[in-house]
Amino acid sequence: MLNTCLNNEKNLSLEILIKQFIQQYSQQNSTNDFKELIELFEKTSFYSLISSYELILLHYNQQQQQQQQDKDDLTLILSDEENSLKKEEEEEDHHYSDKDDQSCIVSMSCSSKLVDEEKENSNYASKLSEYNVSRLKIVRLEKRQGEPLGATICRLSDNDYRISIARIIYGSIAQGLFTVGDQLLEINNIHIQSQYRTLDDIVQLIDSLHGTISFLLLPTSSDETKTTMTMTTNHGINNQAFHYNQDDCSSSVYVRALFSYDPYDDMYIPCRELGLSFEKDSILHIVNRDDSSWWQAFLMENDENIKKQQYPGLIPSKQFQEKRLKIVKCLLDEETTGHTKKKLKKKLNKSISQQSTRQKILTTFSFGTYESVEWYIPNPLRKRPIVLIGPAHIGRHELRQRLMNSSDLSSLIDVAVPHTTRLKKSDEIDGRDYHFITRQQFERDISNDLFVEHGEYEKNLYGTSKSAIEICSNQLNKICILNLLPEGLDSLKYSNLLPYIIYMKIPSTIEKLREYFYVNEQQWIEIEQVSRQIEQNYSHLFDKIIYLNQSFDEIFSQLKSLVKHVQIKPMWVNQCWFSPRERF
């Protein structure tokens, strides 16, 4: 009932409404609850509380009206006619093109309002005079509470209190509005260039602001932007920049990280809060490489073409990371020539990001930096070859033979028919048992890099050609299982065969390997050495590692599952396997 009165009599004070309520309903209701309510209404303290409330409400309404009046004074409603808006923009362009000393205004308005040019130009002129410059830039944008601006700031030098834009984060509200090198003069008419203001003070100020924010900047000499009008969504995000297309950005590339990274362990990163943590083998979408030392990247789902965060983070560039790793290598080389561990540790702390152990540094150096990848959806009309990599005497040939004899896989699996220079036997068929060619032709094919691997046995040449793998995978639509020497991987690059590389990693002890495959001590030493070399030189090409510290049946079961999985599951594939001229 009281709500009904309040809704019908909005212009009356709360006190009058309550008294009318008492007079109207006191005779109609005699319940105890109603009587208690009447007693409460008749207390003096209750009406004091009402008076206080009305004073607060009056003050609030006056404040809101003043803010609305200020907005109305500063803005004009955009015309509904699109042609009219275009005409105004053309007139603005013509107006500013004739005046070299005018500043650049870049304005964003989520409420679709156009800044009053007359007042703006007047304010403009006074600012030009105040700062004694011929050109300024005003940026207005809408920022939600707690939303990052997407730009970092820095001082021009240690002894200079002038502040400039240091970095623009890809896809943020700052992209397209600010330019690296712009000097920041005012924020919402607050002068921020002062020796008494720290960078943290300014960052806290920006973080605390939301709604419409105005920035006054001295544009960098490289910023030749003319007066433009840019629209945003209600949340102020630059959608055109945020919903990126990798084809629209020349610096956009997907990579697999070949090392782990934590920005909070990196003393050189310009802003730890913007750093992106990732583990080895993580997929990164690099969207900005403007900075030679620090790139901007999204962290992607390893098994899906989906990014994990809204804004990109900073990662060390390939050049910067390789430079650090070279320093590590030099220091480790010095260690072998007589430097003590104490001196080495001191130099490492000065030269690279803080790393926990010497082994971590060695591993990082061996594994490199980034490997370019592409998202691949399997083609049902062709199969991806499976390549087993590892040292000799660990059971790779036995595993391949067992796969080919498997009842549920034998019809799907085949091997590439090898080439040879030996004479054909009476029971052999050319193209089924071997491709029989002359030695001259074989050597010519070697020169043309047509073989994945080749060798000589009893004065006859044998080899596996790329064309033989292509016939198996494409024409016959069979899963080609290959046991290759590691060097053969280089020949598969850019072949468009898209091999899936499985590395067979030896167990830590000879006893574990002997459980299913016998090797002697000398063979074990050679196996360990070859394994280290393979991992150092080719680990960036591995798609999967199968650890040989389990039973042979478990190893086979894991391998069998992978062979099936690879042919149907979309995944990230190393770009080096794709042909630059041909795609499917």
pLDDT, position 107: 37
Q: How confident is the model over 452-506, as pLDDT tens digits?
A: 999 999 999 999 999 999 999 999 999 999 999 999 999 999 999 999 999 999 9
Q: State mean pLDDT over 241-261.
A: 66
Q: Where are the domains of the chain?
A: 2-74, 78-242, 249-374, 381-415+473-577
Q: How confident is the model at residue 378 (pLDDT cuts 50, 70, 90)?
A: very high
Is CATH 3.10.129.10 the classification given to domain 381-415+473-577? no
Rounded CA-CA distance 213/187 in Å is 7
Q: Which of 14-23, 169-178, 316-325 has the lowest mean pLDDT?
A: 14-23
Rg (CA), the chain: 36
The larger pLDDT score, comparing residue 9 to residue 441, is at: 441
Q: How confident is the model over 546-568, as pLDDT tens digits?
A: 999 998 999 999 999 999 999 99
Q: Classify 249-374 by CATH class.
A: mainly beta
From the candidate CATH numbers 2.20.28.90, 2.30.42.10, 3.40.1080.10, 2.60.40.10, the one assigned to the domain spanning 78-242: 2.30.42.10
Q: State mean pLDDT over 46-65.
A: 63
Q: How confident is the model at residue 328 (pLDDT cuts 50, 70, 90)?
A: confident
Rounded CA-CA distance 154/181 in Å is 9
Instruction: Output the CA torsion sign for 497, 498, 499, 503.
Output: positive
Q: How confident is the model over 419-431, as pLDDT tens digits?
A: 999 999 999 999 9
The larger pLDDT score, comparing residue 196 to residue 361, is at: 196
Residue 1 pLDDT > 60, yes or no? no
Q: How confident is the model at residue 508 (pLDDT cuts 50, 70, 90)?
A: confident
pLDDT, position 65: 60
Q: How confident is the model over 217-236, as pLDDT tens digits?
A: 999 876 554 433 333 333 33
How far apart, in Å, do the first and last CA atoms of the chain sit?
A: 73
Taken as a whole, the chain contains a residue count of: 584
pLDDT, position 63: 63
Residue 280 phi/psi, 5° resolution? -55, 140
Q: Is the pTM of this model over 0.75?
A: no
DSSP assignment of 422-459 equals SPPPTT--BTTTBEE--HHHHHHHHHTT-EEEEEEETT
pLDDT, position 327: 84
Q: For a pLDDT cut of 90, what percent of the chain falls above it?
A: 48
